[in-house]
Structure 1
Amino acid sequence: MKKLINDPGDVVTESVRGFGLAHPETVRVNEDPLFVCRAGGAVAGKVGLVSGGGSGHEPLHAGYVGQGMLDAAVPGAMFTSPTPEPVLEATKAADGGAGVLHIVKNYTGDVLNFETAAELAEAEDITVRSVVVADDVAVEDSLYTAGRRGVGGTVLVEKIAGAAAERGEDLESVATIAEQVIENVRSMGAALSSCTVPHAGQPTFDLGENEIEIGIGIHGEPGRERIPAAPADEITDRLLNPVLEDLSLSSGEKVLLFVNGMGGTPLSELYIVYGHAHDVLAARGVEVSRSLVGNYITSLEMQGASITVLRLDETLTELWDAPVGTVALRRGL
């Protein structure tokens, strides 16, 4: 294992500390318990947004703390859910008096620990609503979940719900908009290689020299099938077609197409995937009116990509276009 780390047990705390030192104008790091919040603290009268989960998926979630997205993020240990205590403290830090929305990826530990934290926050008179992102069409149940996994769609939920909160929507409205995104977003990914969790010291799973895993999870969970290495267009079709079938898109609809890198794939390859996916959608009469390409929800150094498609309407498009000022996503400011 070759990694730029010191003690494997200190990777998350040292990384988050460095993140805070690098971006003091945007975020503040609370070290005990560990969470990241907006540099200026909670915004009075605004709905607060909190998300989090196991580390190793950077820039998710801390990279999306800032104006127009999250108010706080809670990084757990590598690929491990954060415990309720830091989630509670992050919720308190994000509370501006208008309630807090928890955005939770559908992994059993995340769901249970955020649920416990929400109950503790309610006991301290903070109103909390929760939404669960479950956009992965690859499998219904996996090693970490009951039901579909929460993957790339999480980024879009955080951006769009964050914009709704930033413009002054109340908690119920922000939660409703988040649910609308969840209902209309689907994803699927593929792995060309495994990743190595620092404390494990060896690859999470084994792939043959000429194998690809279709439908992989962001923690290295098994997907739908293993196939021989294939051209980019064929892999793209295997990811995109199940997404489109699940969304039941009609000709004339508009979508956001998001091609995400898993951490070890060059942008040049991601744009090849994007180009073919765009062509497939166009051939079906579906307009790609918004796009996102890059490493936004990763799996350490895994080689691979995921494709996410979000059905858009006028409201979701307006909220996607709204200004955002975070470390990992910044425009219009």
Structure 2
Amino acid sequence: MKTKKLINAGADAVDEMLQGVLAAHPRHLYAVENMPRAIIARNGPRKGKVGLVIGGGSGHEPTFLGFVGKGLADAAAIGNVFASPPPDPIIACAMAVDGGAGVLFMYGNYAGDVMNFDMAAEMLALDEIEVRTVLTTDDVASAPADQKDRRRGVAGNVFIFKAAGAACDLLYSFDDVERVARHANARTYTMGVALSPCSLPQTLRPNFLIGEGEMEIGMGIHGEPGVAREPLRPADAVTDELIDSILRDMKAARGDRVAVLVNSLGSTPMMELYILMRRVKSRLDDAGLILHTSLVGNYCTSLEMAGASITVMHLDDELQQLIDYPCDCAMFAR
């Protein structure tokens, strides 16, 4: 059975979405001339500032392009649905935001993204633009703690990009921006649960199958297999399973501060997210952890997938300052 979507042609969905984004947010965003997949912040790049370029496949909105703006990312390179952007828009983004202090690439740890961003970095080096890369690896389910460099980057991108973008806007040196980005990534943990599949605009068919009354713990944002297929349980029990995995990995001490994101994977409504948030706060209180700030809503989605993820960033003084730093983006502001 085909799914229903408000699109024209599946092959045109990404480009038409970008046209709509630019029409809705002209104060924040523009596209590089003749390169519509290179989205630039109007008020972010400037001379002497490290440029922050993020990017990846479409279908996760507001990740990535929604986080382009002053105080966060300077540009986003946009790929097809669930596919890496090719090198050309990545190069265009870097050239548009290069202020002479270097350009930092940040994106999730996926093979296609690594290949294309690395290729872009090699080509930019020929133009004497220094590029460094920090991969996001916050998905607790995708590899053991001692192999964190193999983990996927998922909704924790929001906090990780936020910290790095603030450091850029504060005119940190290239070395310090890279240090902050790696530090933020190392202290960010995400675990998710899927209740139903999504479908690609080109196929209008579910991209995986999950039984009625089932859930999958740890499923990736492209439908990658999780760690357990289980009967659907009440919200508190599901939250406990997710937060237990995060707290085991994080190893925080009582009195430590955290930032929390309760994120919809696309079709899970706010009512359900706040039910999860209620339990998250209770569990943090039991663990003696101080909730410094929280986000609840659609931040890193998977088209219309039902389900949610919980992200916890283990704050210190520097990360707290950077997370609190003002930003003004098309789809996110603080």
Same fold (TM over 0.5): yes
How much has 1:299 moved relative to structure 2?
0.2
- 8 Å Cα contact 1:108-1:146 kept in structure 2: no
2:198 alignment counterpart: 195
- Same amino acid, percent of matched pairs: 45
Runs of 4+ in 1 over 6 A off after TM superposition: none
How much has 1:173 moved relative to structure 2?
0.6
1:294 alignment counterpart: 297
How much has 1:191 moved relative to structure 2?
0.7
* SS in structure 2 at match of 1:138: helix
How much has 1:146 moved relative to structure 2?
8.2
- 8 Å Cα contact 1:33-1:89 kept in structure 2: no
AA in 2 matched with 1:16: L
2:163 alignment counterpart: 160
Gaps of 5+ in 2: none
How much has 1:32 moved relative to structure 2?
2.5
2:80 alignment counterpart: 77
Q: In the TM superposition, what are the counterparts of 1:110-149 in structure 2 within 5 Å?
A: 110-140=113-143, 147-149=150-152
AA in 2 matched with 1:169: Y
1:19 alignment counterpart: 21
* SS in structure 2 at match of 1:156: helix
- Residues matched between the structures, number: 328
Q: In the TM superposition, what are the counterparts of 1:1-333 in structure 2 within 5 Å?
A: 1-30=3-32, 31-32=34-35, 34-40=37-43, 42-140=45-143, 147-331=150-334
CA RMSD of aligned residues (A): 1.4
Alpha-carbon distance in structure 2 between the residues aligned to 1:150 and 1:327? 22
Q: Give the TM-score of the pair, scaled to structure 2.
A: 0.95
AA in 2 matched with 1:38: A
Tell me which moved more, 32-41 or 77-86. Answer: 32-41
AA in 2 matched with 1:5: I
- 8 Å Cα contact 2:44-2:69 kept in structure 1: no
Gaps of 5+ in 1: none
* SS in structure 1 at match of 2:55: strand
How much has 1:35 moved relative to structure 2?
1.2
Q: Structure 1's 41 and 69: CA in aligned 2 closer, same or farther, altered over 3 A?
A: closer
* SS in structure 2 at match of 1:188: strand
- 8 Å Cα contact 1:107-1:146 kept in structure 2: no
How much has 1:42 moved relative to structure 2?
2.8
**CA deviation vs aligned residue, 1:266-301 (integer Å, no higher than 9, x gap):** 111101111101111110111111111111000001
How much has 1:41 moved relative to structure 2?
6.8
Q: Give the TM-score of the pair, scaled to structure 1.
A: 0.96
Alpha-carbon distance in structure 1 between the residues aligned to 2:71 and 2:246? 27
* SS in structure 1 at match of 2:168: helix
**CA deviation vs aligned residue, 1:106-161 (integer Å, no higher than 9, x gap):** 001111111111111111111111101111111229xxx98211001111111111
- 8 Å Cα contact 1:33-1:85 kept in structure 2: no
How much has 1:176 moved relative to structure 2?
0.4
AA in 1 matched with 2:31: V
**CA deviation vs aligned residue, 1:161-181 (integer Å, no higher than 9, x gap):** 101110111111111001010
Alpha-carbon distance in structure 1 between the residues aligned to 2:314 and 2:118? 28
Alpha-carbon distance in structure 1 between the residues aligned to 2:285 and 2:192? 21
**CA deviation vs aligned residue, 1:66-90 (integer Å, no higher than 9, x gap):** 0000110011000001111111111
- 8 Å Cα contact 2:4-2:204 kept in structure 1: no
